[in-house]
Amino acid sequence: MIGPVFCLMLQTRLAEHSVANIFDPRATPAATEKNLALFTFSITGGIFIVVAALLIFAIVRYRSRIPNDLEEPAQVYGSGKIELAWTVIPILIVFVLTGVTGRVIASIEDSPQPSSATHITLVGRQWWWEVHYPDFGIVTANEIHVPVSRSAQDHPTFFTLQSADVIHSFWVPQLSGKTDLIPNRDNHIWIDPREPGIYLGNCAEYCGTQHANMMLRVIVHPAGEFEKWAVAERTSFVPAAQSNPGRAVFESLACVNCHTVRGSVAAGRFGPDLTHLMRRQTIGAGVVPLTPKNLRDWVADPQEVKPGCLMPSMNLSNTELTQVVSYLEALK
Amino acid sequence: MASVSSALVPPVIDPAQWKLPDRGIIGIACLIITESALFSIFVVGYIFYIGKSLNGPYPKDVLHFPVLGTIALLSSSVTIVIAERALEHGRRALFQLWWIVTILLGAFFLGSTAMEWHQLIVNEHLTISTNLFGTTFYSLVGLHASHVIVGLLFLLLVGAVTLFGFPIETQKRRVMFLSWYWHFVDVVWIIVFTVVYIVGR
Amino acid sequence: MGSTDYPLDRQDAHQDVHQAIRPYVHSDKLSFSDALYVIVTTVDHKKLGLMYIVASLIFLVIAGLMASVMRLQLAFPNGHVVSPATFNRLFTMHGTTMVFLVGMPLLAGFANYLIPLMIGARDMAFPRLNAFGFWIFLFGGFLLYFSYVGGGGLQGAGSAPDVGWFAYSPLTERAFSRGLSTDYWTLGVLCSGIGSLASALNVIATVASMRCPGMTLSRMPMFVWLMLVDSWLILIALPPLSAAQIMLMLDRYLGAHFFDTQNGGSAILWQHFFWIFGHPEVYILIFPAFGILSEVIPIFSRKPIFGRPAMVAAAVAIGFISLSVWAHHMFAVGLDSASNIFFAAATMMVGVPTGIKIFNWLATMYGGKLIFRTPMLFCIAFLFQFLIAGLTGIMLGVTPFDWQLHDSYFVVAHFHFTLVGGFVFAIFAGMYYWFPKASGRMLSETLGKWHFWLMTVGFNLTFIPLHFVGMMGMPRRIYTYPYGRGWELWNFVASVGVVLQLAAVAIFVWNILQSLGRSDSERSGDDPWNAWTLEWATHSPPPEYNFEKIPVVYSSRPLWDLKHPEDPDWEFE
């Protein structure tokens, strides 16, 4: 029983970064992107100041001071030299910016994968995230657990991004920019979070009714603790049917068509894996925090909590509801 | 204005000498350009999906060169030019003859496409929803065939006008535009033929 | 100078002609059914131009109100003014309407009304095609909005499309988009696209074949030049969208698999096709704005446009480059690094000719005598806002930066700076500038200044903060957001700005109505701005035949020549 308790303790200990600012990066891809962003800002900011100043000067200096002045100013048609200057200078700026951009693109997209990397296959679904750890045989949802990494070559996490239905997009601003999860295609992305903590992200490609509530969190474990989490996650702690009457109710209902609880007959693949449901922080891909009351409301009528989501309302009686919830609450 | 000194009198422009292109030529050229853009997307779609079908039938198993249809369509481009020449020289009967030949050749092409589709659908069980090959094949060839149909309708219209004795000599410009369109449909066929029957096989 | 008369020299004989057709020119003197008859049957470029503009302004108000509802929803976290599905329909309809039923017809309207007048022609090259284009555009608009009634079949009232204006596959496939709403979107846009193609073809033929004697290409007004390049762009860039939409319909109705990922189809093929259209489309919308600025700024600076040849060359360059930048909308789909670098470079390269344009407008103002009437004010605000839009565009072109900014509110802010701060502001400038020509009446300058200041403050209040929330991680197209992400303040400020913008547009509408309705509103005369292009040489409003006598021009500023016989432009050409 150490595993679940440890996990719950860990999660309360980790600081949650609620403001996911792209200028507060905690991993190499996001940090590189931030540096390039600042470089771009300084160039475009410089251009803005120069042009805006010229514009303000023109407005102030050349405004017509005499009402109904009929005399026309000198008619100037153009000047080849000046025009050449403001053609050539921008071209030079573009060359510089393109060169820098190219280097950064290559450094992020073509980064080599060390053998110490953790592998995750992230599958986007309407409207939640399925997280596979092929090396550990773990399947979980909406919360991605990864190890902390001192450098890009230390313990980075490499993602394979897929989609089961429409296009979604992975975006955790403090760790990495976006890459889409596209059906019929594998995309790749990597992160090397430098600091333990909880990082928030969202689906960033419009994917249907509940796109807004397709949130995800990346939980970065301190050194050495990710492995402990993985071991705990691989085992399952399904309560016996005798001790928890909710299990029989759960397994007799349509729940099992969509949900998996490892170690039981529930092996559905359409909904999130519930084996360790109570270790998660939220329900419905972040729509509400996971509390007993919210869990009960959710099971009673998901359409009330997350209108349009693909989990139907099961019309459970009060007793059934209590039993199912008590079973779910035992899935630690 | 009489006070304007003679040094500042603008160069004389004679409106009678002011010649601009015929708006009809510009119009038909624009139509052909925009249609080309439309076709090129379908061609790109076809090329993109070559060899990506998940299941058969595959092009190399079921496609045969539509030789006769192609010959008919390409020669109709020649016959329409002969017809146009005849019209220019005022030889009405000759124009009618070659015009009808053009229509027949176009119709033959459509007929051969119809036979090919019939064969593919009934014998090979390839429909637009069978696989990606079916999807792209019927869309591209069908888009072209629909242009042939539109062309044929206009050819028939001109044919009817001249056969019922209305003066066609006053409509030389419009006949010319129609023949441009017909040539365009022909050129598209050459591209479609190359992509579908040569590259795609 | 008998053979070289300008149309300013009115001939008495023409007064009779003018009187004779007067009843048909001023339809307000007709009964309702007669007016309707005139509207339905007209092939006159000016009436069609005004019909385009009025129709698109109505759609502008509808789509603007949709945006206001969305801002109301997002003013506070966890907002629930409308349901998620309704919100998704709102942004889909807002985007689709603004691009296809406001932007495209507005540019068609200005082009139709102005081009024949500016090049000294009596009508467009194909007047009936022109009428066809208008009616099929309007039909497309009705079809799109009919989805509110028929989108879900008979039981599904209120089911407008909810797939976004970009309609990414496979969300649009039958499996994920049931009912008919996506079909209404497809067919509605397809129809309005045919209208746009018709009017683009017409503009090209008109410019090529209908110019008055002496109006060489190098003497053409800048607005006409930009509309010419614009029309070429429409002709080449719109068919890819139509083709993709035909493919989508084949998928939905005949079970084809173009974008059907479950049968091997590609999800990103649609994105390629859509953005091959979609990015040039942005330039298609901004070119008329460039054209309006290039007419208005010289008049209110009292100087000719600076570097005319460079301005034309820059427009052509933008047209060409814009055809090769589409994948900068797709930096996040996982293209290989070489493609990403190419599209980043091409995207930034567009900034060069765009920069040339801004510098040339600036240089036009230098050394001039700037007169700050309402049209000029809108142009100046345009310059500031479009400068910001261009620079944020460069940021979005820097691929790694875009990986962070893509599909965040930063992008929303960026393109509203181009399309509202740019396009709409230029359209307002054009409205104030040419309204006297079309109506013979002035718009109130006082109301105009109120309109301008409320609009400028409101616009910036709404869209500057959206840059910030985007950089703080707020994605686009979300119907609500939780409390505590740091987005609350900026979203609230943005929503407040909307109130000012709504007030500004209301003042604008009131300004038009009071000018047309009141018998004592100020009359404009034929040439209220002391302008230089041909449209100001005829009456206000212009008669059905535009010019009593087809003019002959000798320079790019025919009326300057006329007003300054001692210093004509043609001396320097």
Domains, in order of start, for chain B: 66-201 (1.20.120.80)
pLDDT score recorded for residue B15: 80
A179 vs C contacts (CB less than 8 Å): 332, 334, 403
Of C85, C384, C477, the CB nearest to A55: C384
Distance CA C487, CA A173 (A): 14
The reported pLDDT for the residue numbered C10 is: 38
The CA distance from C309 to A77, in Å, is 10
pTM of the full structure: 0.93
Q: Which two tokens stand for residue C426?
A: 């230029």
Q: What is the pLDDT of residue C158?
A: 66
DSSP-derived pairing of the beta strands A138-141 and A128-133: antiparallel
Inspect the interface and report whether the beta carbons of C473 and A41 lie closer than 8 Å. Answer: no
Identify the burial level of C81 via C-beta atoms within 10 angstroms of its C-beta, where 0-12 means exposed, 13-18 middle and 19 or more buried: middle
What residue has token string 């700050």? Answer: C372
Contact C263 B31 (CB under 8 A): no
DSSP per residue, A80-148: HHHHHHHHHHHHHHHHHHHHHHHHHHHHHHT----TT-EEEEEEEETTEEEEEETTTTEEEESEEEEE-
* The pair of three-digit structure tokens given for residue A182, joined into one six-digit string: 């596209």
pLDDT of amino acid C15: 42
**CA C375 to each of CA A57, C114, C380, C443: distance values in angstroms, whole numbers, following the listed order:** 20, 16, 9, 11
Task: Select the residue from B5, B6, B13 to test the C interface by mutation, using most C Cβ atoms within 10 A.
Answer: B13
Does the beta-carbon distance from B4 to C565 stay under 8 Å?
Answer: yes
Instruction: State which residues of chain A have pLDDT below 70.
Output: 1-13
Which CATH fold topology does C42-571 show?
Cytochrome C Oxidase; Chain A (1.20.210)
Query: Do the chains contact at C258 and B4, CB–CB below 8 Å?
Result: no
Which residues of chain C neighbour A72 with C-beta distances below 8 Å? 302, 369, 564
Percent of chain A at pLDDT > 70 equals: 96
Residue pair B139/B184 in contact by the 8 Å Cβ criterion: no
Tell me how far apart the alpha carbons of residues A200 and B73 are, in angstroms, rounded to a whole number. 62
Among all residues of chain C, which has the CA nearest to that of A175? C404
Q: What tokens appear for C53 in the block?
A: 């503009």
* Cα–Cα separations (whole angstroms), residue C484 to A13, C355, C475, C487, C488: 19, 40, 15, 8, 8
Measure B76 CA to nearest chain C CA, in Å.
27
CA dist C571 → B7, C558, C561 (Å): 10, 12, 9
Question: Which of A40, A102, A166 has the CB atom closest to C401's CB atom?
Answer: A40
* pLDDT values of chain C reduced to their tens digit, one per residue, 573 residues: 333 344 443 343 344 444 444 444 444 566 788 888 989 999 999 999 999 999 999 999 999 999 999 999 999 999 989 999 999 999 999 999 999 999 999 999 999 999 999 999 999 999 999 999 999 999 999 999 999 887 776 555 668 999 999 999 999 999 999 888 999 999 999 999 999 999 999 999 999 999 999 999 999 999 999 999 999 999 999 999 999 999 999 999 999 999 999 999 999 999 999 999 999 999 999 999 999 999 999 999 999 999 999 999 999 999 999 999 999 999 999 999 999 999 999 999 999 999 999 999 999 999 999 999 999 999 999 999 999 999 999 999 999 999 999 999 999 999 999 999 999 999 999 999 999 999 999 999 999 999 999 999 999 999 999 999 999 999 999 999 999 889 999 999 999 999 999 999 999 999 999 999 988 888 998 999 999 999 999 999 999 999 998 999 999 999 998 888 888 888 877
Among A43, A75, A104, the residue with its CB nearest the CB of C304 is A75
Do C474 and C486 meet the contact criterion of CB atoms below 8 Å apart?
A: no
**Across the interface, do B132 and C265 touch by the CB < 8 Å criterion?**
yes
The SS3 call for residue A16 is: strand
All residues of chain A having their beta carbon less than 8 Å from the beta carbon of residue C376 are none
Question: What pLDDT is stored for residue B6 in this prediction?
Answer: 45
Chains in contact with C, where contact means 3 or more Cβ–Cβ distances below 8 Å, are A, B
- Taking the C-alpha atoms of residue A330 and residue A316, their distance in angstroms, rounded to an integer, is 19
In C129-236, the DSSP E strands lie at none
Q: By CA distance, what is C260's nearest residue in B?
A: B132
User: Do B139 and C250 make contact, defined as CB atoms within 8 angstroms?
Assistant: yes
As separate numbers, helices (DSSP H) first and strands (DSSP E) second, chain C gives 18, 0
Q: Which of C173, C206, C257 is the best mutation test for B, with the most CBs of B within 10 A?
A: C257
C-alpha B20/C-alpha C248 separation (Å) is: 41
Contact C497/C462 with Cβ under 8 angstroms?
A: yes
Helix (H) or strand (E) holding A227, with range, is: helix A225-234
Rounded Cα gap, residues C164 and C476, in angstroms: 11
Confidence at residue A193, expressed as pLDDT on a 0 to 100 scale: 95
Interchain pair B129, C255: CB under 8 A: yes
Q: How many CA atoms lie within 13 A of A222 on its CB side?
A: 7
Chains that touch B (3 or more CB pairs under 8 A): C
Whether the Cβ atoms of residue C459 and residue C421 lie closer than 8 Å to each other = yes
* Contact: A78, C310; criterion CB under 8 Å: yes
Confidence of residue B103 (pLDDT cuts 50, 70, 90): very high
Q: Find, in chain C, the residue whose alpha carbon is nearest to that of A170.
A: C332
The domain spans of chain C are 42-571
User: For residue C569, what are the contacts with CB-CB under 8 A and spacing of at least 6?
Assistant: A75, C304, C554, C555, C556, C557, C560, C561
Which residues of C are less than 8 Å from A173 in CB distance? 404, 472-473
Give the tokens for residue A79.
């000047």
A-chain residues within 8 Å CB-CB of C479?
A: 211-212
Residues C314, C355: Cα–Cα separation, whole Å: 9
Question: Do residue B37 and residue C255 have CB atoms under 8 angstroms apart?
Answer: no
Per-residue pLDDT reduced to its tens digit, B59-87: 999 999 999 999 999 999 999 999 999 99
Candidates A23, A64, A204; nearest CB to C475: A204
CA C351 to each of CA A43, B48, C342, C412: distance values in angstroms, whole numbers, following the listed order? 13, 31, 15, 19
Residues of C in contact with B56 (CB under 8 A): none
Best mutation target, C209, C232, C572, to test chain B (most B CBs within 10 A): C209
Nearest chain A CA: its distance from C45 CA (Å) = 32
Question: What pLDDT is recorded for position A13?
Answer: 60
Do residues C277 and C270 lie in contact, with contact meaning Cβ atoms separated by under 8 Å?
A: no
Distances (CA, A) of C303 to A22, B59, C351, C364: 46, 65, 26, 6
CA A132 to the chain's CA centroid: 15
Distance CA A86, CA C351 (A): 12
Picking from C88, C182, C354, C404 by the largest number of A CB atoms within 10 A of its own CB, the best residue to mutate is C404
Alpha helices (H) in chain B, listed in sequence order: 23-48, 59-62, 67-88, 92-118, 132-163, 172-193
Between CA B137 and CA B124 the distance in angstroms is 14
Cα(A304)–Cα(A318) distance, rounded to whole angstroms? Answer: 17
Structure tokens at C331: 């930096």
Q: List the subunits that have 3+ CB pairs under 8 angstroms with A.
A: C
Distance CA C464, CA C278 (A): 24
Task: State the Cα–Cα distance between residues B167 and B115, nearest whole angstrom.
Answer: 37
Rounded to a whole number of angstroms, the distance from the CA of A236 to the nearest CA of chain C is: 32
Residues of A in contact with C399 (CB under 8 A): 101, 104-105
Do C and A make contact via 3 or more CB pairs under 8 A? The reply is yes
Over residues A115-135, the pLDDT tens digits come to: 999 999 999 999 999 999 999
Q: How far apart are CA B92 and CA B86, in angstroms?
A: 7
Shortest CA gap C103–chain A (Å): 23
**Which amino acid is it at C531?**
A
Interface contact flag, C176 A77, Cβ < 8 Å: no
A interface mutation test: which of C257, C398, C410, C560 has the most A CBs within 10 A? Answer: C398
| Predicted pLDDT at C3 | 37
CA nearest to C339, candidates A307, A105, B102, A211: A105
Mark out the alpha helices in C327-424 (DSSP H runs).
337-365, 374-397, 399-405, 409-418
What's the length of chain A? 332
pLDDT number for residue C5: 42
What Å distances lie between residue A146 and A131, A139, A289, A316, A326, CA to CA?
11, 14, 21, 37, 29
Distant-in-sequence, close-in-space partners of C250: CB < 8 Å, separation ≥ 6? B128, B135, B139, C256, C258
Q: Are strands A157-163 and A118-125 parallel, antiparallel or unpaired?
A: parallel
Distance from C-alpha of C418 to C-alpha of C413, rounded to nearest angstrom: 9
CA distance C325 to chain B (A): 17
Chains C and B touch (3+ CB pairs under 8 A): yes
| 3-state secondary structure string across C54-111 | HHHHHHHHHHHHHHHHHHHHHCCCCCCCCCHHHHHHHHHHHHHHHHHHHHHHHHHHHH
Helix H or strand E segment including C279: helix C267-301
d(CA C266, CA C260): 7
CA distance A66 to C377: 18
CATH for A28-109 is 1.10.287.90
Nearest to C568 among B10, B23, B42 (CB): B10
**Contact by Cβ (8 Å): B23, C205:** yes
Chain C neighbors of A169, CB-CB under 8 A: 332, 407
Among the partner-chain residues C387, C407, C481, the one whose CB lies closest to the CB of A169 is C407
Tell me if residue C497 falls in helix, strand or coil. helix
Tokens linked to A54: 């010229």
DSSP A23-39: TS--SHHHHHHHHHHHH
Residue labelled with tokens 């369509």: B73
Asked if C455 contacts C429 with a C-beta cutoff of 8 angstroms, the reply is no
For residue C173, the chain A residue with the least C-alpha distance is A166
> Are C206 and C129 spatial neighbours (Cβ–Cβ below 8 Å)?
no
Distance from CA of B99 to the nearest CA of C (A): 28
Burial of residue C367 (CB within 10 Å: 0-12, 13-18, 19+) is middle
Cβ of A91 within 8 Å of Cβ of C176? The answer is no
Query: Got the DSSP string for C498-559?
Result: HHHHHHHHHHHHHHHHHHHH-TTSPB--S-TT---SGGGGS-SSPPTTS-SS----SSS-HH
CATH superfamily to which A239-329 belongs: Cupredoxins -  blue copper proteins (2.60.40.420)
Cβ of C125 within 8 Å of Cβ of B1? The answer is: no
A195 and A220 in contact (C-beta within 8 Å)? yes
CA B137 to the chain's CA centroid: 18
Cβ-Cβ contacts under 8 Å, C237 against chain B: 37
Which chain C residues are closer than 8 Å to A55 by Cβ?
362, 380, 383-384, 387
Query: Chain A contacts of C78, Cβ < 8 Å?
Result: none
Cβ contact, residue pair A178, C407, below 8 Å:
yes
Which string of DSSP letters, residue by residue, matches C295-317? HHHHHHHTSPPTTHHHHHHHHHH
**pLDDT, position A237:** 82
